[in-house]
Structure 1
Amino acid sequence: MTTPTRATLEKALKSDAKLQKEATQIAKDLAAGGYDISLLAEELGFALSSPDMEQRVAGTNLLSAVLCALPADLLNAEQLEFLTTFYTDRLRDHHNVMPAIIDGIDAMVHMKALPAGNVPLILQAFFQHTTCQSQTRGDRTKLFNIFKYLTLNFKEELTTMAGDFVYGLINSIDGERDPRNLEIIFSFMPEFMANYPLLHLAEEMFEIFACYFPIDFNPSKQDPTAITRDQLAAKLTNCLVANNEFAEWTVVLAVEKLESELLVAKLDSIELLHQAAVKFPPSVLEPHFDQIWQALKTETFPGADNEDILRASLKALGALLERAAHVPSISHSYQTSVLGVVLPQLSDVNQRLFHPATAIALVCVAGDAPFAADKILNSFLLKLQATDLSTSPPDQRVKIYQIVAQVYKLAALRESLQKLDSTISVPLLDDVIAALRLCEREDFDAKKEDLELQKAALSVLNECAPVLSEAQRALVYKALVQLISHPTIDLDFTVLTVGLGALQPVELQANFIDIGIRNFEIFSNFIKRKIYTNLLPLIPQMAFTQRILDLVMTQMFKPDNPEPVRLLALEALNTLLTQEDQRFIVDLQQQSNLLHQLIELAQQTKDITLQSLEQIAGPLSRIIQQLPLSEQSAIISEYLPGLQLQKSADLYIAKGLLGYLHKDISLDDHFERLLSDLTQLSLTTDNEQLRVIAHHLLCSLVNKMENTKGNRSKVKQITEQLKKAIKTGDVRAVEILAWVAKGLVVAGFDEAADIVGDLSDLLKHPTLSTAAALGFDIIAAEYPELDLPVVKFLYKQKFFHTIMGKMGSKLADYCVHHLKAFVYVLKATPQAVIKLNIEQLGPLLFRSLEEHNEAQSLCIALGICESFVQQQDAYFQAHLGHLIPSCLELSKYKAQHTMQVRIAALQLLYDITKYPTFALLPHKVDVTLALAAALDDPKRLVRNTAVQARNAWYLVGAANGD
């Protein structure tokens, strides 16, 4: 392994490919220790010092390519000293040699043994003999990355260069226009400017970035990884607030650009002020606050019509006030300036400036809650004291209370609620409580009153419960008792009672809860329902749990209780068990054996209604879901054998026990009887509610059954029984068969294919075809209330392919019911599967759209087409000639075209306009003319969609129209 000869090197320099190959080999030899890099430089000297510029370029390229290929830890300090001398000297060379020199410097500065003192030498030589902006874009990218690396790793050495490095960096950046390079600069410069002394060059450094503000840049649509304007703007903003010395210039720049008429310039300027508020200390910004406030006031008070500008301005003002809150003297100065402008406008809710004033006032509270809240609340108190509560219109007070509630909420979030001035908050809350107590007046007519005043008063009390005095709380309790016992008013005040319960449990129990429970029997059902609604949220608080539970249990299980009263208690229990967690439910079951009591109530109550039984089934289901498997199994063994499903009560009990039973609980001993009884019930009963329960239980049972020969045989017996009933023309048997198939399909049983085949055969039946088509809807549809825990992986795909195997040939025969059934199947089929088979399914979808006789399947078909059109699918683009006429026909007002169908068709026509113009132009005239009819549709929503679609078609082919 010897140093390459001159002949070898001359050969390598003849082409880029040979050069790279030789550089790779040399790097391997150097890494293996074959020779020293100084020997390579000596052999390469003929090229490096050649009077021929092109040969110097080639020689330098080879040396730099070798350096780039070497491991970063190979060269020692002495070797790097030698290379530093060479490359810094070469910076004086012809500009064509510069790309190779930059590559070499880039590789060299990343070497681990590079002496730190060499970095200033390299930079000083570069800044003295060349400029960054005279290089190509790619070389500038390398240089900026070099600067980034050096600022992160050689801070001490760069600091010793003082202004030389800062000045050189400024000159390197000045004039850069390439977005990719700017992205690099804007990424590393904020940290540099924050950590390095800028000396006398701070203003020059700021101006380098200020000239780019606001960013005006449109990324290339062809570049998938293009830098966005917003990304570049955000990074530029970080540069402009990177150093505290920039504060004055930043404010001036932002305020100046805020006067622009361009939306993007305004938003960028406001964001710059926001970031200035976040980054600069309050002491630095204080001299400029008036200037900032005047600029933001223009945008917020009364403010522009643009919501984005208003929102951004309030955000910037909020950041400014929030940062200042840590320095009370500055904060109070800021708040005084702002509140001095907005407080006078809070005196009249009908003024145009009231709403912008309240928005700014709330921002003040969020910034310095104790100071601002007192000023704002006092302003409202003076206004309220000037008006008579009993005679003045309520609308003004409602608006004031709504703002007061937000002030208290913000004060609580800032942990300042207790710090508010009691001389202001006490009389203000007295006024609020007086408004709430209007309901105690004998002449208070809830039908005439809209109760908005009481709701607004409650919203205030919800937020300020911790600061209510004992006397005020006493009045609140009286008002709450009056509200809950009022024969017509139904207000939700649970937030207030929960808050008071946590703070004053003894008071709340004595003055509110006990009164409601003590008089519960004499209240109407309307009031009883309100008591349940307002007491149940208090159950998590231990002080009230048992008292409220006792009320619910007593009303549920009291023998002589009227059915409506018991039903209210059952609904309350349902609500309670839905809200509470597993631990609560298990404890309740263990303490009161609630499940047994509920079953006993269902079976032994005479003339119990189906509504009550439904409310019993819910808690049974909720309880059994939360119990351990061993307890679930014991309960099933105890109660299931005695259930007679022909009885309504027992059927609902079965629904509660079995509906969400864990799939690992074996029902093999009862499986045959359950299947038979549920099937027989569904075939014989005329009650649709009972049939639905039977169907769901059948579906869930076959889904969870163990995959044994015996169980499959029992299912086979039931399906044979149903087939016999079907032969007699029994529509119910078709529906039951579909539910059994659904359970089997989801669980992935092979027997499902046979049942699906039987259903597909019925699609040509003279009387059962409609029921058979709906059967496929049952199999495909999602039922949130149905428990199907055994889900076969990719079962939807398997179901689709089963249907294709059973019905494929029949679909080609164009049977309406086959198409309808198939559309139901497609609704549940993943789009990826449909896309794979679109050549076969597309014609079927188009045919289904031409059959204008059934709204549900039409909406499904239109929805499937729309999902593909929105993605600009090529298949649908090629078949617009089929799709567009069908949509136009469906968009017309006809008896069979429901509003949903017409809207879906028009929406699809609108989405079609996203296809390329050349594909749309042949249809433009026909579509725009045909859509005129939809503009006069009797339904407003249809007309709205028609206008949107027709406008989009009018713009097809127009200049700048997409």
Structure 2
Amino acid sequence: MDPIWFKEDLADEIIKQSYIFNETQSIVTDIVCDRIDITKIVENMAGVLTHRDAENREKGMRFFTKLLKDLPQSYLNQMQVNFISKFYIDRLKDNHRVIPAVLEGYLAIMDMKNYEIKLCGEYFNILFREIACQSQLRQDRLNIYLTVQKVLEKDIDYLKSLGPDFVFGLISSMDGERDPRNLLFLFNFLPNFLAHIPLGHLVDEMFEVISCYYPVDFHPSPDDPAAVSRDDLAKALCPCLCGAQEFGEQCLVLLIEKLDSSLRVAKLDSLRLLTESCKKFKPETYSPFLKALWSSIYREISHKTDEEIKMAAHEALSALVANLATSHNTDQSFENFVKGIIISMQTSVAESTTVAQFVHATRVLLSVANSSKESCIIVARSMIPAIISYYEFKTSAKLQVASLEFIGDLYDLAKHWDVLNDLEKQANEIIPLCLTSVSEPTKEHQMAGFKTVIKTIHALKPDLVLPFVEILIHIVQHSEDDDLLLISIGTTNAIARKYPELIMDLVVKGKCNMDNIMSDKTNLQKRLNLLSNLASIDDFTKVILEEMLKIITLDEKNAYNIVEALNTSLSNASLYTEEKVTQIESDHGLIDSILSWLFKEIKSASEESLLHGYTLISNTVCSLPGDKQILILARHSPNIIEKCQSEDVYFPLLECLYRSLHQNINDPTFDDILKLSLKNALTSKSVFVRTRACCLVAHILNKAEFGQTFEMLYELLKNYLASCSKDNEDICSPLIHLYGWIVKALILRGSDVFTFWLQKILLTITNPECCKDGSEAIRLIMTDQPDSLNSRLHCRTSILYKQRIFQAFVTMSSKLGPFDGETKEAYLLSWAYVLEKAPKTVLNIEAAQIMPLLVDALEYDNKDLLVVMIDVLTHFVLMKNLLVAQSFQTILPRLVKLSEYVKSMDVRIKSLQCLYEIANAYKTALLLPYKTDLLFDLAPSLDDKKRLVRNMAVRARTRWYLVGAPGEDKTE
């Protein structure tokens, strides 16, 4: 029996039965399989499509529209599409109930492969004449806008041919739109429309329809699951307001008007609109408005507190200057505008009495200079001589330092725009000023002068190198200030890169000649640091390193100083790249020299004095490619392993070689090295050796290849530790320490077996004899260490490992206990180490379990515990967690007591801050019962011997005094 759509009864079925709407896919299947023609379907639907009742015609059109949407887009031929299109266009004149289905259906027709774009002309003509868009429902209005968008995407030229009548129809359709989702669609669509479709005499009408929404004043409903934000609308509207060149004058008048309003969002939107408009409008558009624009922009730049508005104003100024600069050859407006700003800012600079005032003015000039090549030249030519004169007339050291920093920044911009050749005369005046500054006896002048020299090094002339070298070497010899020494070495490096021959003669072979400086024991280390820094420059590497390595080999007394200097400099990745270190190792055999020195010194020198040597080898190996690492191991490790078997003092040599290997290095001796490391980690009498051994165990576990290699090494580890005597008290503490390293290595590589070892650590916390070791192991796990288990050493790392530890700790600790006395403090301290490093967002999830711990921790006399726990408690207070309020009776007296904690100023400040936040966060009704006692109990803190504590005490006590005061809004 044939389905109903094969019969003339289809029309009646559509009218009477709603189930038929679910059968469109079956109808489509029959059409596509040629069991029935679509024209036959239309004939069978005739009764409902032409029914005298509008409600039934609506059903017919909805059914037909659904059918068309389910049809393959390429199925209907051109004749069929044309026929259906004209039928739908004719339906636009039908009853208002039918219109939604017509609008939806025509969208489906336009997507069909054989649709002719010229058909839409009649559609739009009737649509705009017969239908008032804003009287339709939201989705129906959107369908109208979507139809216009489709035509724009398909054939822009045809859309242009529709002329002003079409544009007027679109304007009328948009006029009065209030739905935020439809507005967002329109605002995203209109810039493309305005960029391609001429508006003719309808410019004013189009701008008026768009600008009525400016500035956007809209707040989404909190119940809307797909809410559109005010910022979304404002950001989308901005390009519309400057979407057509013809909008220029109206747009600028509008934004200046809104920029002068008192509404903050209006100011921000106007500044952003000005920035956006500079990408679209021509420079001549702005000429009549430049005076008003500068006045408005500068007012917002001068805003004292709102950094967002100030930043937006700087961006707008920069965009405006960049736009005007494109006309610098044809229009005088650009140069006049920039020079006007310079004159205004020169006055501000001259009148500055504080650094803040000076920076405010110079920041404007930097924004202008940063805008374009042309503006940079104008600003630099005027301001470099002006600032040099300003430096000479001002006596304030801080203002002189600020002026040097400004010149350096201005020079950086000139370098960025590649206009240094245009500023040669002005640039030549900078270096003498820097020489004057570094000749001053104050650190601030010297630091600022050297920083500016580094920035402007291209302007340094050979005749001024010697005076600078004299000053720099004097500082290296006599200064004890680390910052000044560092910048002095950096300046020498910068000069050496420009004038290598001069620095070679004056410094390397002159004032810091290796033979001479070795006799000057007082300043030896500082001079060696300078030379090792200069060795990073290719012209100096061979000369300096050969001399240094020769001294390491021949002069045991001074070798330590050389090693320390080399380690300090080679650890600086900005000085020594991996390629540079590899080259040094290949050309000079750095590792061989350092190892030879360590072998000679290892039994007589202290472990700490050799640490620079171990680190230098580790960092050098780290920089080498894998094939060179293998060669180094083959050359040195057999001898070192043999010595380690009998004396653990040699183990750090082995560790520094193996710590920095790449992950893909698979040395056949790893089994033996792991066993040796485990042995030293547990039995060595040297704490240093035990720590180095634990570190190497962790590195081997972390880097082992996934699969069989890791499983074999992990099994070896488990078996070895299982064989250790549980009754040997001597290995208890080292064993727990090793567990910490194992947990950290495993969790960083993403292995779940870390929980097995973490459980062992937690069990030790329940034992009074080793609970402190357990908490220290937790601290080790949670603390980042610069010289182990990081990506620089080619280890596997996970950014979420602290969160995983927290989650595992929560789960496991709930099964432990009870704790008392020493174990309770160790347990709480372990929690403190975990909570301190865990992301604050995850703490809220476990607030119920954490809060009792925080309350208990406030009773203990342990600074490390108290600082962390008060911080976490303050976090919960800021989140207005009700669990805190439920414990006020206990928490408040304990915090008051801690506000007088003698052993730590930090604890006193944090406890007072927490009390302040409590009074600030919770309802008045919850706080009032404690107000009187708090005001009395906080009085002693007002006389604390530390100013910072007194300041916080005043703040906290004042806030509690205001609790319940008239006008306080704390009822939420």
Shift of 1:134: 1.4
CA distance in 2, matches of 1:342, 1:57: 70
Q: Match of 2:897?
A: 892
1:102–1:143: 8 Å Cα contact kept in structure 2?
A: yes
- Counterpart mapping for 1:257-406 below 5 A: 257-300=258-301, 302-329=302-329, 330=331, 331-350=334-353, 354-369=358-373, 372-373=376-377, 376-379=380-383, 381=385, 384-385=388-389, 394-406=397-409
Q: Match of 1:445?
A: none
Shift of 1:257: 0.6
Change (3 A) 1:458 1:881: same
Moved more, 944-953 or 72-81: 944-953
Q: Match of 1:514?
A: 509
- Counterpart mapping for 1:750-769 below 5 A: 760=763, 763-765=766-768, 768-769=770-771
| Residues 839-883 of structure 1, C-alpha deviations (whole Å, 9 max, x = no match) | 9956874675475354445566667777888888xxx75786358
CA distance in 2, matches of 1:806, 1:383: 65
Shift of 1:211: 1.0
Shift of 1:512: 4.0
CA distance in 1, matches of 2:544, 2:755: 50
1:589 aligns with 2:585: yes
Change (3 A) 1:416 1:824: same
- Counterpart mapping for 1:562-601 below 5 A: 562=558, 565-566=561-562, 568-569=564-565, 571-572=567-568, 575=571, 580-601=576-597
CA distance in 2, matches of 1:506, 1:273: 52
1:811 aligns with 2:817: yes
**TM-score, structure 1 length as denominator?**
0.84
Q: Match of 2:608?
A: 611
The gaps in structure 2 that reach 5 residues or longer are: 705-709
Output the amino acid matched with 1:317. L
2:924–2:963: 8 Å Cα contact kept in structure 1?
A: no
Shift of 1:262: 0.9
Q: Match of 1:737?
A: 735
Change (3 A) 1:434 1:116: same
Q: Match of 1:194?
A: 195
CA distance in 2, matches of 1:383, 1:798: 55
Output the amino acid matched with 1:344. T
Output the amino acid matched with 2:307. E
2:938–2:953: 8 Å Cα contact kept in structure 1?
A: yes
Q: Match of 1:91?
A: 92
CA distance in 2, matches of 1:643, 1:578: 35
CA distance in 2, matches of 1:764, 1:568: 43
Shift of 1:309: 2.0
1:744–1:751: 8 Å Cα contact kept in structure 2?
A: yes
CA distance in 2, matches of 1:757, 1:597: 43
| Residues 161-204 of structure 1, C-alpha deviations (whole Å, 9 max, x = no match) | 11011100100111111111100000010010011111111121
Q: Match of 1:184?
A: 185
Change (3 A) 1:944 1:902: same
| Residues 230-264 of structure 1, C-alpha deviations (whole Å, 9 max, x = no match) | 12111111001111111111111110111110111
- Counterpart mapping for 1:372-771 below 5 A: 372-373=376-377, 376-379=380-383, 381=385, 384-385=388-389, 394-420=397-423, 422=425, 424-436=426-438, 438=439, 449-473=441-465, 475-486=467-478, 490-491=484-485, 492-518=487-513, 520-521=516-517, 524=520, 527-559=523-555, 561-562=557-558, 565-566=561-562, 568-569=564-565, 571-572=567-568, 575=571, 580-605=576-601, 608-625=605-622, 626=624, 627-629=628-630, 631-643=632-644, 650=650, 652-660=652-660, 664-665=666-667, 666-669=669-672, 675-676=678-679, 679-682=682-685, 692-693=691-692, 696=695, 706-707=712-713, 714-717=720-723, 719-720=724-725, 723-726=726-729, 733-745=731-743, 746-747=745-746, 760=763, 763-765=766-768, 768-771=770-773
CA distance in 1, matches of 2:579, 2:321: 46
Change (3 A) 1:231 1:724: same
Q: Match of 1:13?
A: 15
CA distance in 2, matches of 1:209, 1:415: 42
The gaps in structure 1 that reach 5 residues or longer are: 440-448
2:618–2:656: 8 Å Cα contact kept in structure 1?
A: yes
1:852 aligns with 2:880: no
| Residues 242-292 of structure 1, C-alpha deviations (whole Å, 9 max, x = no match) | 111111111111101111101110111111111111222324433433332
Moved more, 657-666 or 72-81: 657-666
CA distance in 1, matches of 2:832, 2:347: 63
Shift of 1:573: 5.7
2:242–2:277: 8 Å Cα contact kept in structure 1?
A: yes
Moved more, 164-173 or 610-619: 610-619
CA distance in 1, matches of 2:967, 2:105: 53
Q: Match of 2:114?
A: 113
1:487–1:527: 8 Å Cα contact kept in structure 2?
A: no
| Residues 472-506 of structure 1, C-alpha deviations (whole Å, 9 max, x = no match) | 44544454444444556735145544444443332
1:131–1:172: 8 Å Cα contact kept in structure 2?
A: yes
| Residues 614-660 of structure 1, C-alpha deviations (whole Å, 9 max, x = no match) | 11111122234444235325422122212488675x35434434555
Change (3 A) 1:395 1:630: closer
Output the amino acid matched with 2:860. H
Shift of 1:405: 1.5
CA distance in 1, matches of 2:752, 2:76: 69
CA distance in 2, matches of 1:208, 1:188: 14
2:895–2:915: 8 Å Cα contact kept in structure 1?
A: no
Output the amino acid matched with 1:503. K
CA distance in 2, matches of 1:346, 1:843: 55
Moved more, 889-898 or 333-342: 889-898
CA distance in 1, matches of 2:121, 2:914: 66
Q: Match of 1:243?
A: 244
Change (3 A) 1:652 1:669: closer
CA distance in 2, matches of 1:662, 1:38: 72
Count of matched residue positions in the alignment of Structure 1 and Structure 2 = 928
1:72–1:110: 8 Å Cα contact kept in structure 2?
A: yes
1:538–1:545: 8 Å Cα contact kept in structure 2?
A: yes
CA distance in 2, matches of 1:269, 1:465: 41
CA distance in 2, matches of 1:554, 1:388: 49
Change (3 A) 1:604 1:282: same
2:896–2:911: 8 Å Cα contact kept in structure 1?
A: yes
CA distance in 2, matches of 1:738, 1:799: 17
CA distance in 2, matches of 1:378, 1:698: 63
Change (3 A) 1:133 1:532: farther
* Superposition RMSD in Å: 4.5
1:702–1:743: 8 Å Cα contact kept in structure 2?
A: no
2:615–2:656: 8 Å Cα contact kept in structure 1?
A: yes
Change (3 A) 1:271 1:810: closer
2:362–2:406: 8 Å Cα contact kept in structure 1?
A: yes
CA distance in 1, matches of 2:325, 2:130: 52
Which of residues 830, 837, 855 is equivalent to 1:824? 830
| Residues 901-943 of structure 1, C-alpha deviations (whole Å, 9 max, x = no match) | 667777778888999x8xx787443566676556864473664
> SS at 1:225's partner residue?
coil
Moved more, 22-31 or 657-666: 657-666
2:195–2:244: 8 Å Cα contact kept in structure 1?
A: yes
1:277–1:320: 8 Å Cα contact kept in structure 2?
A: yes
**TM-score, structure 2 length as denominator?**
0.83
CA distance in 1, matches of 2:807, 2:444: 58
Change (3 A) 1:884 1:204: farther
Identity of aligned residues (%): 21
1:819–1:848: 8 Å Cα contact kept in structure 2?
A: no
CA distance in 2, matches of 1:557, 1:486: 29
Q: Match of 2:707?
A: none
